Every structure is written in C-alpha cells, then in structure tokens.
Amino acid sequence: MIYTPMNLSLNELTKMATQEVNFDETFFTNIEECIKYNSIGTLNWAIHTLTIIRERIDVGQKVKYKDIDLTPDTYKKLLHEHYGIYVVKGVYPKMSLKHKVYFKLENTENGMDLIYTGQEENKLFRWIADINENESLVRVLPTNVVYIRNIKLGSLTPFVTEHNSVYVYNEKTGKIEEVFE
C-alpha cells in the first residue's frame, strides 16, 4: 500500500515508518516539510522516525521505495538525497563526518531553540572583557546573558548576582546589568 497524502502529522509519519512496506516520494517529502524550520526537536523526531526504517532494513524486513527493495546502502543514499548531513548522521551515528555541523540559538514563541544552520559557522558567544588571563566575560548573542568563560578548563558558568539573578549585557550602554525575574 502506498500513501500519498501531503501534510501528514508527525504521529502519522512515525506510524507509517513502523508499518509501511512500500514508501513513495510523498513520505520523505512530508518529513522534509516538517523539518524545514530545523528546530532541534523536529530534527530529532525526523531522525527517530527515519531510524525506525533503518532498523527495519537492518533486521531484514522487506522495505521498498517506489517498488524497489531498500538495502542499508540504498537507504543511506536516499537519505543523503533528501536530508542534510545532521539528519543522516543521526540515523547513522557511526558514520564519520568530513566537516562540522552548526546550530544557532534563536528566540521563538516557546523560548530558546537550537536551529540547524548546516556547515555555516556562526557565533553563539561574543567576548565582553577579560577578567584575568584565564577567565573572560562573554554573552550569549540572542539573549545577552553574561557568562564567565574559563579558558583553561574550557567551561562556561552563568554570571549570577547575589540575588541569584542573571546579568545581561546592554549593547546601548556597554554595561552589564542585573535582571530580576
């Protein structure tokens, strides 16, 4: 049986991944549409759903794409044709990458979200000032929340006040200010 409706729900697509024998282009296009925004939650859902199909192929179940039997190699090739390297790497975690993948932090209606940017490097933190030779003050770009970066340890610690509030960097004044919540 081949499904052709567009705009299926995430649950319907996941259910199809567990039961369908013969997939068509529409299934993979629906998943592509779902992950266009590239939010980390939706990307992880897509990886989970596509991994179900990979696992079915790995255990020897007959799974087809456009009436052609899928093998581990043909399925991996199909994923490369439809999705970015982050998704393919998620479905095949042992696969080695020749390059890094990047995310950016972005404000959304539901709070902060990591957004996949592909191979495009972006900065998450911006330097404010050095405290000493081992520590610097940096800010998270979307929120301007200030952190202490320890260069030797490679760690980031939120710069909190005595009231357990955070500090934010005010770009207009160039000052670090306490935020009360």
Q: What is the pLDDT of residues 24-37, one digit of tens each?
A: 888 998 898 888 76
pTM of the model: 0.58
Mean pLDDT of the chain: 84
Q: What sign results for the dihedral spanned by CA atoms 107, 112, 117, 119?
A: positive
Residue 35 makes CB contacts below 8 A (sequence gap 6+) with 42, 43, 46, 83, 87
Q: Which of 122, 118, 121, 152 is nearest to 136 (CA)?
A: 152
Count Cβ atoms within 10 A of the Cβ of residue 37 and give its class: 0-12 exposed, 13-18 middle, 19 or more buried: middle
% of the chain exceeding 70 in pLDDT: 86
What pLDDT band is residue 50 in, cutting at 50, 70 and 90? very high
Mean pLDDT, residues 34-59 taken together: 88
Q: What is the pLDDT of residue 163?
A: 82
Summarised one tens digit per residue, pLDDT across range 123-149 is 777 888 889 999 999 988 778 889 899
Which DSSP symbol is given to 93?
T
